[in-house]
Structures are given as structure tokens and as C-alpha cells.
Amino acid sequence: MTALSELTPTEAADRLALRELFDAYAHCADRRDAEGQKALFTDDTRFAVYMEGEGTEPTYVLEGREALTPVFDDLNRYEATTHFNGQSTVTINGNSATGESYTIAHHVYTENGARKIMVASLRYLDTFTKTDGRWYFAERRLILDWGETRSLGTDESR
């Protein structure tokens, strides 16, 4: 870990904007706002998913903002999702940046009449770009570190 140094006002604003971008992604997912989620990405974005973990071949790779539509729309199959964002690190270099961030994602659904929850530990490796004063995801690699599915019980109170 590197020693902390004094931040310039610009770097502090950029760091806050990047964290807000990360949080907006999770918020849009949980609210099923696929259009809002897509708007967080550059037009020529690259989105790769590694369901078998780091060091494996990607499960799929999507190129371009519009290619994200089916992935984000797929969240509609869940009754509810909650994404808890954890630690994140970023390195800023002018109008570009890279980062790593962690999320615990909860997905509630019903299968064969039984309520279930799938919990996943996700790690994102991101490349960001700043265009017209706003940060966007230029590339996002989603890595599934682990997942668990279990019965949620029969409580209907939610």
C-alpha cells in the first residue's frame, strides 16, 4: 500500500466522481434502470464477465454500450437485488483512470415455488475515461470470486 499524500481539489473531485459512478451502477441495477446503467458507459465500452473466476477465459464479452441491454435487462428475472459496495482503489492519470472495487450482490428469486437467494462476491477491474468533465466506464471486467445459493425461507413479509 502506498503512503497517502495530500490530494489536490481536482483529484479529490475525480475520486468522489469515480466512487459515485461505481455506486450509480449498483443503484441502477437494483432499481432495474437499464437505460441509466448503460448511460454510465462509453459508446465503445468493453464489458467482460468471468463467472469461473480470475485467470479464466471470459464467460462472455460485450462490445459497445448498446450490447449491454440484454445483460442489464436480465436482472428483471429477480424479485429483488441488493448490491453492497465495499472497498475500492483507483489510480488517476489525467482523463483516464483504473480501479478495482468489491461488491456483495444478493439476488432473490422463486424457483419451483421456493424462494431462494443467490449471494455473490464480485470484483470489478475497471478502466475509466473522463469526457466533457464526466467520468464513464470505458472497460469493466466483472469477476465472480465466489457464489452461494440457498433457501430464503417462507416468510412472505419481505
For the cut 80, the answer to whether the pLDDT of residue 1 exceeds it is no
Mean pLDDT, the chain, integer: 94
Give the pLDDT confidence of 3-19 residue by residue, as tens digits: 667 889 999 999 999 99
Confidence (pLDDT) at 29: 97
Looking at residue 91, its pLDDT comes to: 97
Q: Where are the domains of the chain?
A: 9-151
What mean pLDDT is predicted for residues 104-122?
97
Angle at 29 between CA 27 and CA 31, to 5 degrees: 70
Query: What percentage of the chain has pLDDT greater than the value 70?
Result: 94
Radius of gyration of the chain (CA): 17
pLDDT tens-digit readout, 49-92: 999 998 999 999 999 999 999 999 999 999 999 999 999 999 99
CATH 2.160.10.10 fits 9-151, yes or no: no
pLDDT at 158: 52
